[in-house]
Amino acid sequence: MTSLHGLFVPLITPFTADGTLAPGALERHAHAVLDAGATGLVALGTTAEPSALTTAERARVLDICAGVCADRRAPLIACAGGNATAESVRAVTELAHPVAAVLAVVPYYVRPSEEGVIAHFTQLAALSPAPLLVYDVPYRTGRPLSGSTLIRLANTPNIAGFKHAVGGIDAASVELMAARTSATVLSGDDRFASALLGLGAHGAILAAANIAPREYADLIAAWRDGDIIRARAIGNSLDAVGATLFAEPNPTVIKAVLAERGQIPSSAVRLPMLPASSAATTAAAEACAAAATITRV
């Protein structure tokens, strides 16, 4: 199995000023984050606004990401599945490209029991042509998972690991890391990535890495190499980046900063998202510039 350790960037979906897909900008941005040190890409994550894309647009985004990863020999993680098991199986088995892993969210809104979550992922993993990463994000799904459930999922065949995004370092996080399973744990919380890496996480899937890929790649490398002093310094310098980029709904501020830099054609998002405010954009740009200065020392 392809290693899933390191930094994976869940790419934004660039739009033109009139709100249409900007495929050339997406391809350039994908290459840019890999050039800056990212290990691989994540296609059609929350940051990509997939629920606002048409079926054809989602297919185009996946095509572009798969093409870039093939050219660069980089692993691609694709997001697929939802809160219905049968539909999730269909989405995963009908992916148009081979991928290193499928990122599948814990069933949301319906709030199944933890046994139901285990049954969902057991069936999905048995039928998936690629290893699964369980996306545990209870503040979006409404379904928190206990440490014992996470450990059972970690030991399920064809489940490679987790995108762990529980809004902090809770008891379940500590129990999962302390269990020392063979599962890969990737932090999905930008502000808590350094803390989870300190507990032994293998990398991260971070929306903020659309803006600061080199800095987050350096953070992961420092923890991996045991350079604790540098890892702490980088992690502390990046806290303001995570805070300001998510001061308004994701990915509005990220797209505004990228557009301000001239890296994408516009800051456009699709309803029900609204563009980021100028105040939020300025604060995030300043935080990113300050972090870049510190991490280069």
CA angle, 189 then 113 then 136, to 5° = 15
- Count other Cβ atoms within 10 Å, centred on residue 21: 18
**pLDDT score, position 2:** 81
**pLDDT score, position 292:** 86
**pLDDT score, position 293:** 77
Question: Do the beta carbons of residue 176 and residue 202 sit within 8 Å?
Answer: no
The per-residue pLDDT string of the chain (297 residues; one tens digit each, 9 = 90 and over) reads 688 999 999 999 999 999 999 999 999 999 999 999 999 999 999 999 999 999 999 999 999 999 999 999 999 999 999 999 999 999 999 999 999 999 999 999 999 999 999 999 999 999 999 999 999 999 999 999 999 999 999 999 999 999 999 999 999 999 999 999 999 999 999 999 999 999 999 999 999 999 999 999 999 999 999 999 999 999 999 999 999 999 999 999 999 999 999 999 999 999 999 999 999 999 999 999 999 876 665
Angstrom distance (rounded) from CA 290 to CA 297 = 12
- Count other Cβ atoms within 10 Å, centred on residue 225: 10
> Whole-prediction pTM value?
0.97
The pLDDT tens digits of the residues spanning 73-101 come to 999 999 999 999 999 999 999 999 999 99
Angstrom distance (rounded) from CA 132 to CA 153 = 10
**pLDDT score, position 295:** 61
Mean pLDDT for the chain? 97
Angstrom distance (rounded) from CA 81 to CA 83 = 7
Which of 86, 87, 89, 85 lies closest to 106 in space, CA to CA? 85
Name the residues annotated as catalytic. Answer: 135, 163
> What are the phi and psi torsion angles at 160 (to 5°)?
-80, -25
Question: Do the beta carbons of residue 194 and residue 234 sit within 8 Å?
Answer: yes
